[in-house]
């Protein structure tokens, strides 16, 4: 699948001026890329700018969401460790192995983020890991260190239809479907949307953060009807031997979706 876009570049002179003024402008760019199979983990960007984190399997996946309570006493997040520096990271990661090191406590390891950061650095030094490149997942009670990891790429697939915040994309097949349990059905419900097919389709419920998503395989040509109390009805063709991705971000309260 191809992603199209223009890459915007600033001159070094302009960048230097911005840095001197204490501000460095950042631009979103799209780079043309082709993939032959659907990755195990990836991030999907919606038309409205939300990012949905998706995994084909619950295993081998680490969701690096950040949370800090209003009091600041409860928190979780991730760091990447390199050159003896901790750098905050977010997104979803593919981790093919379990954590190499894990510290679990029955009571809070820390009551503040700065204290937690120092505790992690102390642990790395004690384990003589200061020269390693690591992904670190933490919360108040657990610290996990991963040596093998890969951050999921952010994709914008070829969209074939939408209804409100529901989007349907044509996607490549997964590298393997051995561990994917597809359900044969004619109907799918996603929030306030109903998808009705005139024939059997195979549906796999993906593991998703911040929304819902399904992977669909179509054995034989069908047409599906998209219904919603908030939107006009639509009819869509799905072709045999093809995979499709249906996604919807978490609905905003009191909003037509």
Q: Is residue 112 part of a domain?
A: yes
Using one digit for the tens of pLDDT, what is the confidence trace for 214-257? 999 999 999 999 999 999 999 999 999 999 999 999 987 656 67
Range of the domain at 234: 157-249
Q: Is residue 129 part of a domain?
A: yes
Q: Which residue, of 101, 135, 151, is where some domain finishes? A: 151
Q: Which residue, of 130, 151, 172, is where some domain finishes? A: 151
Strands 158-163 and 61-64: unpaired
Residues with Cβ within 8 Å of residue 237, at least 6 apart in sequence? 221, 222, 223
Using one digit for the tens of pLDDT, what is the confidence trace for 11-60? 344 445 444 445 567 776 766 678 889 999 999 988 888 899 999 988 88
Q: Is residue 177 part of a domain?
A: yes
Q: Is residue 54 part of a domain?
A: no
Q: What's CA 228's distance to the chain center, in Å?
A: 26
Q: Which residue, of 97, 118, 151, is where some domain finishes? A: 151
> How many CB atoms within 10 Å of residue 15?
13
Task: Specify whether 162 is located in the same domain as 85.
Answer: no
Q: Is residue 226 part of a domain?
A: yes
Domain count, the chain: 2
């Amino acid at each position: 699948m191809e992603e199209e876009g223009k890459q915007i570049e600033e001159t070094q002179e302009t960048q230097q001026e911005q840095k001197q003024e204490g501000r460095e402008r950042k631009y979103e760019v799209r780079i043309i890329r082709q993939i032959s199979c659907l990755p195990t983990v990836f991030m999907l960007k919606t038309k409205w700018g939300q990012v949905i984190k998706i995994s084909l399997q619950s295993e081998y996946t680490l969701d690096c969401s950040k949370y800090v309570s209003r009091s600041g006493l409860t928190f979780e997040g991730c760091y990447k460790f390199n050159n003896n520096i901790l750098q905050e990271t977010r997104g979803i990661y593919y981790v093919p192995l379990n954590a190499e090191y894990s510290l679990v406590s029955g009571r809070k390891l820390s009551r503040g983020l700065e204290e937690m950061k120092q505790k992690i650095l102390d642990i790395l030094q004690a384990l003589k890991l200061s020269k390693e490149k690591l992904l670190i997942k933490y919360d108040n009670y657990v610290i996990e260190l991963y040596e093998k990891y890969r951050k999921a790429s952010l994709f914008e697939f070829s969209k074939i239809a939408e209804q409100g915040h529901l989007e349907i994309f044509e996607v490549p097949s997964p590298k393997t479907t051995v561990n994917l349990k597809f359900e044969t059905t004619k109907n799918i419900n996603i929030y306030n949307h109903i998808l009705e097919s005139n024939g059997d389709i195979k549906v796999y419920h993906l593991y998703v953060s911040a929304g819902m998503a399904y992977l669909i395989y179509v054995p034989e040509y069908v047409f599906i009807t998209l219904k919603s109390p908030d939107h006009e009805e639509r009819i869509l063709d799905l072709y045999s031997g093809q995979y499709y991705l249906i996604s919807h971000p978490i609905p905003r309260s009191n909003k037509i979706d």
